[in-house]
Structure 1
């Protein structure tokens, strides 16, 4: 049977140069008759697949591949191997993942596209994702090759703050997207999955640029600290207000939401600091906005609300439910003199793409594309979407 030997793969990964991923994959693939290996990484905006140069393969000759219109892009979107006949065999494109996060695509030419061979290509895609995840801690190489152009300083700070854009387990899936990818300067989110609890937060600091990125860094840092200390949502909410009031003037503030979902019961609790209300998706449709009496944004709360006024809202989720969180840059997007994108349009598109049984990350990719098109690809504010889907307690 054609298969990748796990022991050989792990031994090949020991002490490799970060630039030699294609070389290592080619060495393993050649044992199965594979040739012409190219590792592609998706760019920050998830519009193109960028070939990772390698000194020992022809990857330096490869071109960028468009996600929306190419075979390589189809493998990335569908997360399955895609093939094309060639004179020297069959070209296979297999997805590369770091855990649940879509990283790119592995391209390789094989003699025949048997089920066993396609399975081996997918295994090597997973292996390449493992190599990228472990090596990325000590190199800038992958970050640089994901860039179609330079990141602004605030955007670089933001991306360094973020967790993976996609997390999937049997019980829960979370996906996020941020635009403009190369200039984002404020919007941020964070999450952590700890046993049967998913904690998640979304932040939208005032303004845009370096000042907003600094506010986001403080908010994420405070949130992570308190979450790891085991604090309640009310405590985390209050501590964010204190941190903002202590470190910034009353001209600086941040809206956001703190969310906790019990993955056994589906009970979602959350607080709201002056942020747009999330949407509940059930049966492929947006059925309602989830209400939560807001406090003022963090940073101005002491001026406008008494201490201890934080409301913790509760919603009982059903298996298969999704909750969409977003920043105001999504619904307020518009061209000069034109109407805003709006919550009604957002809800309609969410229902349209949810009913097509798309994965959460693909739903968001379509949504953010619509937001960008509505504003002629020139956003005046950051636009962030986070979609959480609870699959039920037994979906392990």
Structure 2
């Protein structure tokens, strides 16, 4: 049995199995129908440092410098040959850009291109079944944790839409740190009709906060977005909701992007300290956006979106102040030089690889000390529509050469936001 018939059988069988029997069921099916000698299900940990087998989480494989890790980060199937011992096939497990791990199969011989494609589709089927099982059991979640989360971190991870999302026009990946005790930062996304909305929420700002603040902010933004309101009204209503609860004592920074996937036109709104960088044609650009007061500070603020256009090949990096403002022992801000160089040299990495690399170097910048502020990284690659709309004219490629005073080298050219008239 092969192809769609096997996919249907695997899905039906896994749907009827207990969550705890997922691995045994997959092994049995793969052995009978694919000829697998062994099967492992490897799940990525919360810090994106290793892949953990669900039957033996301590026997982890590092994400860096391993075939399984490369298959996870790049979301491509990879085959390793072992002379006299068969081959190992590493199949990425992900759904619409949301990566969860790797399905690792031992076979007698190297699969041909058609067989490898069928195995990759089968891995997607297994991923859907595991996602469903994860709704009913904590076993899979525990595999991804190397230690206990704080209650605040549990709240923040439950808020997230996933680790990534993808469509023909774009790929997005996001990450939070410190993973096991993140306090108040978050991110969100949604594609509705012909628009993609990205949101980065900076709730900590290096200070003690009510851990429910971000929950209120994200929920208010979603409520307004799901009502079909503009990002201006999303910000305004969230500002009012937070102010009503905290009377200006607590507030959050936010960066909202509303991207037309048919044209690449972006509506952007910045409140507080998040930052947006764009890598385009070997240059790192920064939109010149008006910085509005953080949401909840006054409760009566007016927010106006600004517009610029993306072009195919653009890479967007949305970061909280816990990333760009992180200091080293010297002290130097991470966003002054190191972050710009990382983004500039990231062309051969996937979005997931970029967020992981940024976090790795952030810890190096800090001398591997604990972070003193939450850090959020959201990376989006814009491929553009297959057939751009007639009005998809780039309007955001003007540059601003003004230097940033705190920079150790000239600030990158700025992508000037064109205000919507």
Q: TM-score, normalised by structure 1?
A: 0.90
Deviation at 1:250, TM superposition (A): 2.3
Relative to total residues, which structure has the larger helix share, 1 or 2? 1
Of 264, 272, 277 in structure 1, the residue corresponding to residue 275 of structure 2 is 277
The separation in 2 between residues aligned to 1:191 and 1:119, in whole angstroms, is 29
Report the secondary structure of 2:35's partner residue.
coil
Q: Following the alignment from structure 2 to structure 1, what is the Cα–Cα distance between the partners of residues 198 and 142? A: 28
* Mapped partners of 1:323, 1:316: distance in 2: 12
Q: What is the deviation of 1:234? A: 1.7
Residues 277 and 208 of structure 1: CA distance in aligned 2, closer, same or farther (over 3 Å): closer
**Superposed displacement of residue 332, structure 1:** 1.9
2:36: which partner in 1? 34
Q: 1:370 aligns with which of 339, 361, 369?
A: 361
Q: Any idea what SS the aligned residue of 2:82 has?
A: strand
Aligned-partner Cα distance in 2 for 1:269–1:192:
15
- Which secondary structure does the structure 1 equivalent of 2:303 belong to? coil
Q: Does the Cα contact within 8 Å between 1:67 and 1:74 map onto a contact in 2?
A: yes
Stretch deviating more after TM superposition (343-352 or 227-236): 343-352
TM-aligned CA deviation for residue 87 of structure 1:
4.2
What displacement does 1:337 show?
Answer: 4.6
Say whether residues 1:346 and 2:333 are aligned partners. Answer: no
- Name 1:384's counterpart in structure 2: 376
- Residues 67, 206 of structure 1: CA spacing in aligned structure 2 closer, same or farther, 3 A cutoff? closer
Of 306, 313, 320, 1:313 maps to 306
Equivalent residue pairs, number: 383
Note the alpha carbon deviations across 1:35-82, whole angstroms, 9 max, x for none: 2211110000110111112xxxxxx49811111132322322332223
**How far apart in 2 are the matches of 1:149 and 1:214?**
23
Aligned to 1:325: 318
Change (3 A) 1:86 1:49: farther
Deviation at 1:336, TM superposition (A): 4.1
Q: Is the 8 A contact 1:294 1:311 kept in 2?
A: no
Structure 2 partner of 1:167:
165
What secondary structure is seen at the aligned counterpart in 1 of 2:346? helix
C-alpha spacing 1:345/1:213, structure 2 compared with 1 (3 Å): same
Q: Larger deviation: 11-20 or 75-84?
A: 75-84
Structure 1's unaligned 5+ residue stretches are 54-59
Instruction: Name the structure 2 match of 1:66.
Output: 62
SS of residue paired to 1:126: helix
Aligned partner of residue 112 in structure 1, secondary structure: coil
Aligned to 1:247: 245
1:50 aligns to what?
A: 52
1:22–1:39 contact (8 Å) kept in structure 2: yes
Please give the per-residue CA displacement for 1:119-166, whole angstroms capped at 9, x wherever unaligned: 343233212211111111111111111001111111111000001121
CA separation of 1:101 and 1:86: change in aligned 2, threshold 3 A: farther
How do 1:1-396 and structure 2 match up within 5 A? 3=3, 5-30=6-31, 31-53=33-55, 60=56, 63-79=59-75, 80-85=77-82, 87-115=84-112, 116-206=114-204, 211-286=209-284, 288-302=285-299, 307=300, 309-354=302-347, 356=348, 358-377=349-368, 378-394=370-386
Q: Is the 8 A contact 1:153 1:210 kept in 2?
A: no
Alignment partners' CA distance in 2, 1:62 and 1:385 = 28
The offset of 1:176, in angstroms, is 1.0
Query: Aligned partners of 1:209, 1:90: CA distance in 2, in Å?
Result: 51
Specify whether residues 239 and 131 from structure 1 end up closer, same or farther in structure 2 by C-alpha distance, changes over 3 A only: same
State the alpha-carbon separation in 2 of the partners of residues 36 and 86 from structure 1. Answer: 17
Decide whether the 8 Å contact of 1:335 with 1:375 is kept in 2.
yes
Could you tell which deviates more after superposition, 168-177 or 206-215? 206-215
Q: Calculate the aligned-residue CA RMSD, in Å.
A: 2.2
